[in-house]
Amino acid sequence: MGQTFTFVGLAADGRSPFLDVRVLEREEDPAAHARRLLDEHRSCARIEVWNGHVRLFVVSREPPPD
């Protein structure tokens, strides 16, 4: 049985253009899924990863190289 995570996409101005609720199995990495979501949703600056009412971590887009 997997664990349910909520991935909240956030734009730089704080808007949330999407929400992804997903059950991941133990071998699946929620941080890797968050990075894939950033790749898919170019308008987002970061993804918050939640488990229930607890925010676990944030994955942010890397700043462009100088």
| Interval 56-66 mean pLDDT | 83
Task: State which amino acid sits at residue 49.
Answer: V
Domain ranges of the chain: 3-60
Distance CA 30, CA 6 (A): 10
In the chain, the N- to C-terminal Cα span, in Å, equals 44
HEC-encoded secondary structure of 18-36: EEEEEEECCCCCHHHHHHH
Residue-level pLDDT at 1: 79
Summarised one tens digit per residue, pLDDT across range 11-25 is 999 999 999 999 999
64 confidence band (pLDDT: 50, 70, 90): low
